[in-house]
Amino acid sequence: MLNRHLLRAKALQYLYALQNAKRSNLLLAEDYLDLTFSPNFHTSEEITPATFDRKKKESKSLLHEIIDGKDFKADTESDIINHVRRAKKDYVEACKKDTEKYGQLMMQETMAVYDRFLLVMCFLRELGELCHQKGELTGVVAEEKKERLDYFYQAFPVQALRESKKMSDLFIRNKIGWQEHREFIEDFYKTHFRHSEVTKKMLGHVPPDKEAQQVWVEHVIKDLFFSSPATDSFFEDLDSNWGENKAIVKNMVYKTLKRIYESTDENWNPVTITPDWEEDHSFFEKIYKKTTEDGDKLDVVLEKYLQNWDLERVTVVDTIILKMALTEMVHFPSIPIKVTINEYIELAKKYSTPKSKEFVNGILDRTSKDLKEDGTIKKSGRGLLDNN
């Protein structure tokens, strides 16, 4: 299942995507100024190429300053003022739309991870149904064929999935099914399931016992399904982040199967998206929203701590990590400062440069101490632990 560390990682990914979108929006705003201050046949007054070039450079320089909150100089030409205001307006509106869009995509993509998990569990059930329908074992009569293939259909993990009202409700509520992808299951059955040595052994004359059924189901999921390039190809078409989400989905599947194995009745519970989705959803949404809302303030806070660093060598990812960490320290009083620092050091190790770990650790250690001292960071409850 997902945990806070994974939620932070996904928020980082979408904040990074948002930052790239903002850069694109700025380039579009500059393109507008370039086009505006270029010679064209509709210009009524005679303007020299040198004047056009001057206005281009001045307007683009002013655009950056106005976006940063500065005012126009008193002697700025009116046409430059008007077009820079127009460019800024377009830029701000585009950034606002992108902020909302990536926030929604972040939440949808995260919820979709749980749908991928459900799809795998549904696959296992559907494979059992397919085995129930098939009757093609060489060298045995029809009745024996059906009975033998029913061994997988009757395997207790597959049966538990088939008989679970909770799983059926989840499949219906999340619109999970394989109706449109029957060819995938058929191909898996023919290419992997039927040719597996484990399957051939299990389809012997003696029905497999409960322990053997567990081994069989685990083999089908671990060794055949998740190891198949066809599975990766299928899910990559559904999920652009399957390379990263696959491990999460596998973990959810294995935990749910473990619950089935350990259950003494049909009242087992599938894993949830997180241990406490209501609380984690609030955290996830807030860390994204506050990091974007407080972006300019966080730039000001970080500015003095980055004075001795070559800003051109501070990566975009590192900057976002620092902003997220400061946001968490300030807006989540129940999370200890050390927990926050350690979490974002781990993100820096995974998503940034080899030296980012030390950089992020050093900056966060200094800023957290200063912000705690001036009262900006106020911890309570569990957040007071290990803050010395």
DSSP secondary structure, 125-150, as one string: HHHHHHHHH----TTS-HHHHHHHHH
Read off the pLDDT of residues 201-243 as tens digits, 9 standing for 90 and up: 998 778 889 999 999 999 999 999 999 999 999 999 999 999 9
Q: Evaluate whether 123 touches 131 at the Cβ level (below 8 Å).
A: no
Q: How far apart are CA 152 and CA 131, in angstroms?
A: 7
Residues of the chain with pLDDT > 70, as a percent, come to: 93
End-to-end C-alpha distance for the chain, whole angstroms: 32
Closest to 275 in 3D by CA, of 73, 34, 4, 10 = 4
For residues 248 and 113, the answer to whether their CB atoms sit within 8 Å is: yes
What does the pLDDT read at residue 343?
Answer: 97
Q: What is the pLDDT of residue 41?
A: 45
Give the model's pLDDT for residue 46: 67
- Residue 146: per-residue pLDDT: 57
Q: Report domain 294-384's class.
A: mainly alpha
Question: Could you tell me the residue ranges of all domains in the chain?
Answer: 4-104, 112-262, 294-384
pTM beyond cutoff 0.75? yes
- pLDDT recorded at residue 140: 47
Q: Which residues of the chain have pLDDT under 50?
A: 41-42, 137-141
> In angstroms, rounded to a whole number, what is the distance separating the alpha carbons of residues 273 and 173?
14
Task: Specify the residue for token string 């010679």.
Answer: 39
For residue 385, is it left (φ>0), alpha (ψ between -120 and 50) or beta? beta
Residue 144's pLDDT is what? 52
